[in-house]
Amino acid sequence: MCCLTLLYSFSGFAQLPQITEGGDKCQAIFQESETSLFDFTGMSEKYSLEEYEGMPIGKVFIESLPVFNEDDPDEDYFIYRLLNKIHVLTRTDVISNQLLFNSGDTLQVDKLEESERILRNNPYLIDARIIPFRKCDEKIDLLVITRDIWTLEPGVKFSHTDGNSRMGIELSDNNILGTGNRFSVSYNKDDDRSSIDYLVGAHQMFGSHVDATVRYGDTSDGERKSFSLERPFYALDTRWAAGGDLFESSREDSIKSGSEETNSYRHEVNTYNLYFGLSDGLQGDDVKRWYYGLTKEEDLFSPISATEDEIPEDRMLLYPWVAYERIENLFATYRNLHYIETTEDVSLGKHIYLKLGYGGQLLDNDRSQGRYEGNYSDAYSFGEHHLFFVGAHMDGYWDEQSGAPENSIFGTNLSYIHLTDERHRWFFGFKADIGSHLDEDKELTLNNGFGMRGFPGGYERGNRRFVATVERRFYSGTHIFNLFRVGNVFFLDVGRAWQTGETGDSPILFDVGVGMRLISSKARTGNVVHLDLAVPLNERANVDSFQWTLKAYNTF
């Protein structure tokens, strides 16, 4: 669709075309002297597209901005200018292939806004805007502005969470020579294993919407490898999708209860998946999609020298499946929610996904099982200061012989954000899961990823769990060396995991703490470094007097 777009590309330092280049019938709309190209917030507030709805689109100009703004005195230094020269800007065709409109099309604001969201979703762009540039011969010329981030990253990694330290070295690039392709090679070591990991990813192969990714990891206790090839539903109005993937992994699992390791065994995980999807595209404000696929899942267990107890039984299932997805086309942009001083696209509409499959003995399964997965999310905005998110999920199996769910988890998550002012937020979150007939490796735990920061991972486990969190967040305006933005948080966590029907139920746990958030404004997006210090308020005789965490997450 986008390959026919008439495009004019500039480097970020070149002059935009003069209005007179279009002839006497051209009327200027965008004035660079009044609004800096780097002021994305100012552009969205000043240059509205609504009044041009329905006009024919004339020329489309693409302006790729460099990592550092050399017109900003705080970034006009030799090292930053050198990095700009070294960095290869994202290529024009990479940007244009993601646009949902062409020269000659009728301007539809929804398509331009979705094009912005697609561009901002790339890990090599920090922001993107599409604004009216000028009117010529009753047509509207558009200006697409994107800003690159630094993607070639040699570095040292260190994280500490759940009492487990991890360190490593890495070389990665998420935008090789401006093509949108990526690679990485890294060495990682933690308390359980060491590994050498490789990744190569191709984006928009041969100018199409097909993506491919290959990963391989050679670990001290096994290996893992994966491959995916997919033509996804890349836009709301996309009519078909298809793809396949495989994942194979072998590792040694350690099961912990409290602060002690209770069992270990080798765990092989193999998953193979093929699917095809169809849709009528965007109908009104809704998108409905149907998926049809075939999946094989294997979980294989074997004892090792450290095995002290029974190991789970092998699980294998080959099944065809069908899935239904509905997406409501309702989005809004915010700042200072999950990141700091970054434009964030937030879905405020319903998103429903339901997948059902069945694997019988005719497919050479050792027993007949149903397979189900589902997700539901919705969000509500009340005025300028209130955001409320609702979610639910399920994942599991139905065993035909026992007539009961197995290794199934049903859960919900609720959160509320009070946007007190531009820099301050209150966050209230609640998450709960219920498990049914869970094998040992599937049991629910209060690990750091689930929200309890004052206790080590696996401290409590069972078939029920919940966590409630209150956070007071501060998004600082501090911009260290114009490279890093800083935030702070005070938090209280309350949670519990337990096994129904057992005596000596696990107690409800409490912790409080403080944290710092660090996010780069010039490097990889989607990574928020968390440095948290949490103190348990009860059960203190059984755990350390404090827990500290240093790890990168994808939210504040």
Q: What digits encode the pLDDT tens for the residues 120-158?
A: 999 999 999 999 999 988 899 999 999 999 998 887 777
Q: Residue 448 and residue 339: Cα distance in Å, rounded?
A: 20
pLDDT at 510: 95
With tokens 């966050």, the residue in question is 427
Q: Which of 441, 446, 415, 463 is nearest to 510 (CA)?
A: 446
**Main-chain phi, psi angles of 475, to 5 degrees:** -100, 100
Q: What is the pLDDT of residues 287-296, one digit of tens each?
A: 999 999 999 9
Q: Which of 146, 29, 45, 55 is nearest to 108 (CA)?
A: 55
Predicted confidence (pLDDT) at residue 334 exceeds the cutoff of 60: yes
Q: How confident is the model at residue 4 (pLDDT cuts 50, 70, 90)?
A: very low
Each residue's pLDDT tens digit, 410-428: 999 999 999 999 999 999 9
**Residue extent(s) of CATH 2.40.160 domains in the chain:** 232-553
pLDDT at residue 1, rounded to an integer: 40
Q: Cα–Cα–Cα angle for 519, 524, 529, nearest 5°?
A: 35
- The number of CA neighbours under 13 Å toward the Cβ of 294 is 2
Among 233-242, 258-267, 538-547, the range scoring the smallest mean pLDDT is 258-267
At 356 the three-state DSSP class reads strand
| Res. 19 pLDDT band, cuts 50 70 90 | very low
**Cα distances (Å, whole numbers) of residue 32 to 16, 76, 143, 416, 502:** 9, 19, 12, 39, 69
C-alpha triplet 379, 380, 385: angle, nearest 5°: 120
Of 352, 284, 272, the closest CA to residue 318 belongs to 272
- Could you tell me where the beta strands, DSSP code E, fall in 121-163? 125-136, 139-148, 152-161
Encoded tokens for 104: 């000659």
Q: What is the pLDDT of residue 24?
A: 54
Lowest-pLDDT range of 202-216, 302-316, 498-512: 498-512
Neighbouring-strand partners of residue 509:
495
Q: What is the pLDDT of residue 508?
A: 92
pLDDT at 164: 74
CA dist., res. 456 & res. 547, Å (int): 7
**Tens digits of per-residue pLDDT, 214-229?**
999 999 888 999 999 9
pLDDT band at 436 (very low <50, low <70, confident <90, very high): very high
Q: Residue 369 in contact with residue 356, Cβ under 8 Å?
A: no
Position 13 scores a pLDDT of 42
- Of the listed ranges 42-46, 105-109, 532-536, the one predicted with least confidence: 42-46
Strand locations in 191-314, DSSP E? Answer: 194-202, 211-219, 222-231, 240-257, 260-283, 286-302
Name residues whose C-beta falls within 8 Å of residue 334's C-beta, 6 or more positions apart in sequence.
Answer: 344, 346, 387
**How distant, in Å, are the alpha carbons of 98, 115, 460, 488 from that of 148?**
15, 16, 44, 27
> What is the C-alpha separation between 31 and 3, in angstroms, rounded?
28
What would the pLDDT profile of 179-188 be if each residue is shown by its tens digit?
999 999 999 9
Q: Which two tokens stand for residue 277?
A: 């999807």
Quick one: pLDDT band at residue 359, thresholds 50, 70, 90?
Answer: very high
Is the pLDDT at 8 greater than 60? The verdict is: no
**Alpha carbon of 495 to those of 409, 429, 470, 545: distances in Å?**
18, 12, 12, 18
Confidence of residue 20 (pLDDT cuts 50, 70, 90): very low
In the predicted structure, residue 246 carries a pLDDT above the cut 90: yes
C-beta of residue 267 within 8 angstroms of C-beta of residue 253:
yes
pLDDT number for residue 426: 98
Q: Tell whether the model's pLDDT for residue 299 goes beyond 50.
A: yes
Report pLDDT digits (tens) over 372-390: 999 999 999 998 899 999 9
Instruction: Count the helices and strands in the chain (H runs, E runs).
Output: 4, 29
- DSSP state at residue 291: E
Contact 80, 68 (CB under 8 A): yes
pLDDT at position 479, please?
Answer: 93
**Mean pLDDT on 518-545:** 86
Residue 306, Cβ density class (10 Å: 0-12 exposed, 13-18 middle, ≥19 buried): exposed
Q: Kindly report the average pLDDT of the chain as a whole number.
A: 90
| Residue 31, Cβ density class (10 Å: 0-12 exposed, 13-18 middle, ≥19 buried) | exposed
> What DSSP state is assigned to residue 56?
B
Strand partners, 274: 244, 294
pLDDT band at residue 332 using 50, 70 and 90 as cut-offs: very high
Over range 286-307, report the average pLDDT: 94
Measured torsion, CA atoms of residues 541, 496, 490, 450, in degrees rounded to the nearest 10: 120
Of 439, 430, 389, 367, the residue nearest 409 (C-alpha): 439
What average pLDDT does the segment 536-551 reach?
87
Pick one of 2.40.160, 1.10.3470, 3.40.50, 1.20.120 as the CATH number of 232-553: 2.40.160
Buried residues in 469-492 as b, exposed as e (16+ CB within 10 A): bebebebbeeeeeeebbbbebebb
Return the SS3 of 167: strand
